[in-house]
Amino acid sequence: MLTKLAKPSSRVPTGLYGTLFAVLISLLAAGGVLGGFLLGRNSTRDAFIERVGAARGSDGVTLISAGSAPLSLLEVLGERIDDELTAHALAKIYGVAADDRDQLIQRLDKVVWLPPFRPAPFVGHAARPFFSDDLRINVLGFRDERQSYLDKPSGTVRVFITGGSTAWGSGASSQRNTISYSLEKLLNEQVGRTTGYRYEVINTAFPAWSTTQEKLLIQQRLVDLHPDVVLMVSGNNDIHWSVAGRDIRWHYTYTDENYIRLLNEAYAASGHPERTIAVPASSQKIECPDLGRMTARNVDEAAFAAGQANARLIFILQPNIVSTAKHLTRYEQRVRQPHDQLYWNACYQALRDELQPLGGQNYRFVDL
């Protein structure tokens, strides 16, 4: 007798409903979590961009654009360009008609005050490579058109300049009017004819650097680039940082602070303000004799490092607008007015007292 085949059941097993329902709930939950994460992330990102887009660092650079492009003198001045005394002084400096405000603005917009920058080992930061008609920064962050110093041609005298904004050329009307460019031209056109040598003068300075950054640069980088002479055009910034309550042995510059503020804004935007990083500072100025000894230690160590590379080190005590016997214009007098001239005079003398007698056959002190 034939047995009839049983028809397959059209019912879905009860357990499968449970499984499908659980999977659906899981997908909805995961979608909610992912959506919440994306919304939260976008909200945090937008809040961060909004905060750093408006905030400015101590050097006037907006945090979100800090270091990405050169900062012009016009950007540094801001509304001060509307002051009549300032406008007339700058018009005279840059060869612009005193009554032509539009021309003055266009001119100052092309004058570089601060180069683009990036974080750098040990010294905190360095210039970012950049190339334009008026600003040339090579891959090492030096304000120089040469790209490599691993070899030195025979008959060449190689000179490196370190320092802060004066040595770097903040406010120079062009790259051709910086100290380094002018000195190289002078040496090759006037001295080279007599000596038979070819001279290279390389600008390795950076605005706001103290002798601490200069020393580290000389010790860790310049000694391996075949130097013959290192010129430290310096002194002013060591006093500047002391006035600001900073110890030059262990301090952040304005450019370093941009990175710290940017990081602090990220912590705040992500809900972790407790991780904020403080910038060490004091309301007390360093006593001038102590500052003189700190600077002298930096210079002495830099001279020793240069000597190990068979190079001479010349420390050039740079001029400054506060401690000077020069006859000042009305504009210069106003720039000097808020500064403590007695303190600056005392500290400049302390630098002379400590730097002039430093030993070493390869060391020389020049007071400008």
Domains located in the chain, CATH noted = 30-65+263-280 (no CATH), 71-114 (no CATH), 127-247+282-367 (3.40.50.1110)
Q: So what's the pLDDT on residue 290? A: 97
**Cβ 211 vs Cβ 232: under 8 Å:** yes
Report the alpha-carbon distance of residue 33 to residue 28 in Å, rounded: 9
Q: Which of 278, 220, 283, 290 is nearest to 248 (CA)?
A: 290
For residue 312, the tally of other CB atoms under 10 A from its CB is 18
CA 154 to chain centre: 34
Instruction: Report the alpha-carbon distance of residue 265 to residue 263 in Å, rounded.
Output: 5
pLDDT computed for residue 304 by the predictor: 97
Vertex 77: Cα angle to 75 and 81 (nearest 5): 115
CA distances (Å), origin 300, targets 71, 163, 194, 212, 368 = 34, 15, 32, 11, 19
Distance CA 301, CA 342 (A): 29
What does the pLDDT look like over 131-168, one tens digit per residue? 998 899 999 999 999 999 999 999 999 999 999 999 99
Please, which pLDDT band fits residue 104 given cuts at 50, 70 and 90?
very high
End-to-end CA distance of the chain: 124
pLDDT of residue 2: 47
Mean pLDDT, the chain, whole residue set:
88
Selected residue with higher pLDDT from 24 and 62: 24
Cα 118 to Cα 142: distance, rounded to the nearest angstrom: 13
> pLDDT at position 161, please?
98
- CB burial of 166-189 (b: ≥16 within 10 Å; e: otherwise) equals bbbbbbbbebeebbbbebbeebbe
Is residue 314 within 8 A of residue 230, CB to CB? The reply is yes
* Of 47-51, 70-74, 122-126, minimum mean pLDDT range: 47-51
pLDDT value of position 22:
72
- In this prediction, residues 178-186 reach a mean pLDDT of 97
| Distances 367 to 149, 262, 265, 348 between C-alpha atoms, Å | 29, 39, 43, 10
The pLDDT-based confidence of 14 (bands split at 50, 70, 90) is low
pLDDT at 5 over 60: no
pLDDT tens column, 22-59 = 777 777 676 666 665 555 556 556 666 666 655 665 55
At 257, is the pLDDT very low, low, confident or very high (cuts 50, 70, 90)?
confident
The predicted model gives 246-261 an average pLDDT of 89
Which residues share a beta bridge with 131? 136
d(CA 66, CA 116): 8
pLDDT digits (tens, 9 = 90+) for 291-329: 999 999 999 999 999 999 999 999 999 999 999 988 999
Contacts of 123 (CB under 8 A, 6+ apart): 206, 209, 213, 216, 217
Note the pLDDT of residue 279.
83
Check if the beta carbon of residue 217 is closer than 8 Å to that of residue 225. no
Question: Can you give the pLDDT at residue 267?
Answer: 86
Query: If pLDDT is split at 50, 70 and 90, which confidence band does 19 have?
Result: confident
Q: Using CA atoms, how far apart are residues 323 and 167, in angstroms rounded to an integer?
A: 18
* pTM for this model (two decimals): 0.84
Structure tokens at 9: 């059941």
pLDDT cut 90: percent of the chain above it: 69
Amino acid 201: pLDDT: 98
